[in-house]
């Protein structure tokens, strides 16, 4: 599903969190929104999800104007940095939750959950509770839960930000493999240049609510369009 944002503006008082942002996110891509803290990444992601309301501008998903469509009706899976798991439910029940509230047949739910737990490497953890998982395992559970309802679009806001460096690196590789398997159009918010370069096939660089450049990791690295992109990517370790 192609996502298209056109002329998006969002202000908080005098402050422009999004300043006339237009962006095309190709179907099936894994696109990173990369920029320093406060550059508008989360605001843009939340606007795509329908969790933030734009002052002006339009969001299209697969050509349909969804700007005024509620988040529940946008067919989106969302994973935040601090994932709120249902603590009293097992891993299996957490992943099944969205399917159950949609009243899908039991056999279908069981099959889907089995498949997903396999995909995210948690097949042996079905009857554990979230508190019995590591931080990395919990975020993989969150991704399985988001994917359970076959969203058209998967939105990830710094999903690995709270984890330590080694786990983060493993999860990056894992997310890349997962994406190669499920091909769902994915948007990953990160302030970590290395993460964007490692994981994404396209990167949109944000700064002060504006998009500085959009391109493949190679494009950005080899042909930075301006000083900001050059110095921001230049700070990669
Ligand atoms: P990022 O995700 O890139 O760190 P955000 O999109 O969260 O940035 O925020 C962009 C800017 O908008 C920040 O300066 C932030 O302080 C401001 N902002 C975000 N949400 C609100 C809000 N609800 N009220 C006031 N200012 C906000
Ligand atoms: Mg943010």
pLDDT at site 237 = 53
| Domain identity same for 128 and 178 | no
| Domain identity same for 56 and 116 | no
Look-up of token digits 């192609």: 2
| Domain identity same for 103 and 6 | no
Domain interval for residue 67: 1-75+152-237
Share of the chain above pLDDT 70, in %: 98
Ligand 2 center to residue 42 CA distance, Å?
4
Ligand 2 center to residue 189 CA distance, Å?
7
Is 12 a pocket residue for ligand 1 (Cβ < 6 Å)? yes
21 touches 213 (CB < 8 A): no
* Tokens (6 digits) for 150: 């076959």
| Domain identity same for 88 and 139 | yes
Q: Give the domain-ending residue among 150, 179, 208.
A: 150
CATH (domain of 171): 3.40.50.300
| Domain identity same for 26 and 114 | no
Q: Give the domain-ending residue among 125, 150, 175.
A: 150
What is the C-alpha separation between 140 and 159, in angstroms, rounded?
A: 10
What pTM did the predictor assign? 0.93
| Domain identity same for 71 and 14 | yes
Task: Check pLDDT > 90 for residue 24.
Answer: yes
pLDDT at site 72 = 85
Pocket test for ligand 1, best of 8, 43, 208, 209 (most atoms within 8 A of CB): 43
| Domain identity same for 167 and 54 | yes
Query: E strand or H helix at 144, and its extent?
Result: helix 135-147
Is 207 a pocket residue for ligand 1 (Cβ < 6 Å)? no
Sequence-distant (6+) residues with CB within 8 A of 195 are 32, 160, 168, 172, 188
| Domain identity same for 106 and 223 | no
Tally of domains within the chain: 2
Residue located nearest, by CA, to atom 2 of ligand 1 = 42
| Domain identity same for 116 and 145 | yes
Ligand closest in space to the Cα of 81: 2
- 115-158 tens-digit pLDDT: 999 988 899 999 999 999 998 899 899 989 998 988 989 999 99
Is 35 a pocket residue for ligand 1 (Cβ < 6 Å)? yes
């Amino acid at each position: 599903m192609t996502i298209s944002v056109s002329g998006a503006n969002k202000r908080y008082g005098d402050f422009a969190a999004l300043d006339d942002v237009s962006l095309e996110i190709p179907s099936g891509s894994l696109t990173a929104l990369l920029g320093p803290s406060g550059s508008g990444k989360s605001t843009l992601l939340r606007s795509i999800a329908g969790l933030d309301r734009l002052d002006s501008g339009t969001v299209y998903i697969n050509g349909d104007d969804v700007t005024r469509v509620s988040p529940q009706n946008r067919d989106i899976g969302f994973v935040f940095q601090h994932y709120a798991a249902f603590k009293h439910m097992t891993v299996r029940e957490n992943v099944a939750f969205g399917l159950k509230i949609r009243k899908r047949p039991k056999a279908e739910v069981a099959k889907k959950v089995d498949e997903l737990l396999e995909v995210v490497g948690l097949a042996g953890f079905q009857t554990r509770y979230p508190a019995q998982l590591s931080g990395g395992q919990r975020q993989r559970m969150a991704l399985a839960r988001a994917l359970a309802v076959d969203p058209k679009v998967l939105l990830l806001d710094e999903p690995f930000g709270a984890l330590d460096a080694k786990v983060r690196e493993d999860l990056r590789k894992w997310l890349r493999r997962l994406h190669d398997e499920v091909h769902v159009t994915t948007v990953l918010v990160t302030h970590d240049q290395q993460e964007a370069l490692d994981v994404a096939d396209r990167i949109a660089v944000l700064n002060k609510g504006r998009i500085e450049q959009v391109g493949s990791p190679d494009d950005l690295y080899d042909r930075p369009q301006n000083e900001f992109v050059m110095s921001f990517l230049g700070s990669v370790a």
